[in-house]
Amino acid sequence: MAKLRINGDSSGYVDLEAPNAASSSTLDLDQVPQKNATNTFSADMSFGDNNKVNLGAGNDLQLYHDGSNNYIKSAAAGWLNVPLSGNGMTVANSNFSNIFFKIDSSGRVVTPKQPAWSGGLSGSQSGSITSYIVRLNNGNHFSNGVFTCPVAGNYFISFFAMTSSAGAMDVELRINGSTNHGLVPYSSSAGFHTSAGGTTVLYLNANDTIQMHNNNTQLYGNSTGRHTGFSGYLIG
């Protein structure tokens, strides 16, 4: 095996060795990255697991794969900034047929997969309200008047209601079949329909259920579904 040794100015050296078997290996110095110069690569750069691309004087930004997960790790005291130009940024599945998150260059954010539901009562009911004209069911988590939380998080919940005749309304929000937060206090209106509405925000666990319930006079519903409604969405 032939060997060429290049000595440093003071100490240290680099050995270049040629293999025993004949080959046609070539060292193209034009392809070697140059210090303090702009370098252009025309082929992939491969890094093994846990081998990092370190940027900044103190490894302020690192990019790497640990064998299972991918990381963009910011260790600097400042912000991790992502300037957007062109149309914006999209997070999706591998072939971009399923969009998870999108932000355009004007800062408008779209989350098409965010769980949400909205329904209007299709027939007068009391007790647990189950019959809705479903107008929105993003993720298909709303069924028979019950929304099942797909993930833990903060949920915004809203309702509006009208009694089918003069009488008291006592609407409550039932979590996992039990009374939780009252959406509207007990109220009544002599000789007239009672109307009310309310909103709340709750932290709920994955697989918790949410349902609207009225303890008194029937809530009014018909084919338009516009007199009583129940809706909400995952805030995050």
Residue 35, pLDDT > 80, answer no
* Residue 212: pLDDT band with limits 50, 70, 90: very high
**Per-chain mean pLDDT for the chain:** 86
User: C-alpha angle 108/112/113, rounded to 5°?
Assistant: 135
Res 205: pLDDT: 96
User: C-alpha angle 143/144/145, rounded to 5°?
Assistant: 90
Average pLDDT for 7-14? 78
Residue 32, pLDDT > 60, answer yes
CA dist., res. 105 & res. 84, Å (int): 6
Integer-rounded Cα radius of gyration of the chain: 32
Name the residue with higher pLDDT: 66 or 193: 66
What is the per-residue DSSP string for 155-182?
A: EEEEEEEEEEEES-B-EEEEETTEEEEE
Two tokens, residue 161: 């209601």
Res 185: pLDDT: 53
Q: pLDDT digits over 144-192, tens only?
A: 999 999 999 999 999 988 888 877 778 888 999 987 666 655 565 655 6
% of the chain surpassing 70 pLDDT: 89
Res 148: pLDDT: 98
Res 190: pLDDT: 58
Residue 14, pLDDT > 90, answer no
Two tokens, residue 47: 């890094």
> Residue 154: which H helix or E strand, with range?
strand 153-166
User: Considering only CA atoms, which of 156, 100, 112 is closest in space to residue 138?
Assistant: 112
Res 79: pLDDT: 86
- Domains in the chain, CATH or no CATH each: 49-81 (no CATH), 83-113 (no CATH), 116-234 (2.60.120.40)
* Residue 9: pLDDT band with limits 50, 70, 90: confident
Asked whether 23 and 7 are in contact (CB, 8 A), the reply is no
Residue 82, pLDDT > 70, answer yes
